[in-house]
């Protein structure tokens, strides 16, 4: 029973995190559309994955893609790296994905 409650809580936390990231990202994209000079650096980053399950990796890739300003491009053949294009790259983009969505997906599914 405790495991079930922990998993339910993990899913609620993931949903809340996604809603928060969605709102913040929509705001950032709107600002970038209205003032293109706000886009400082876009590009592709390699996100090393600690997730191993295909469902977990697919969920992470979809959460990233559904967040405005980011798109999942490719998962390496060994499933160890997710390549992501970000409209506004920061020094902590990879760390944010790992400590945010990836960590929460792991709590839900692995």
pLDDT in tens, 76-96: 999 999 999 999 998 999 999
**To the nearest whole percent, how much of the chain has pLDDT over 70?**
100
**pLDDT tens digits, 16-34:** 999 999 999 999 999 999 9
1: confidence class by pLDDT, cuts 50, 70, 90? confident
Are 49 and 81 within 8 A, CB to CB? yes
Neighbours of 64 (CB within 10 A): 22
How much is the mean pLDDT over the chain? Answer: 96
Give pTM, 2 decimals.
Answer: 0.94
């Amino acid at each position: 029973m405790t495991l079930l409650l922990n998993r339910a809580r993990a899913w609620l936390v993931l949903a809340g995190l996604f809603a928060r990231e969605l709102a913040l990202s929509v705001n950032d994209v709107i600002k970038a559309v209205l003032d293109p000079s706000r886009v400082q650096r876009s590009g592709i980053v390699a996100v090393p994955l600690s997730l191993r399950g295909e469902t977990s990796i697919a969920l992470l890739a979809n959460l990233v893609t559904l967040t405005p300003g980011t798109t999942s491009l490719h998962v390496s053949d060994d499933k160890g790296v997710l390549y992501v294009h970000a409209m506004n790259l920061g020094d902590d983009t990879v760390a944010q994905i790992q400590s945010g969505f990836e960590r929460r997906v792991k709590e839900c599914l692995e």
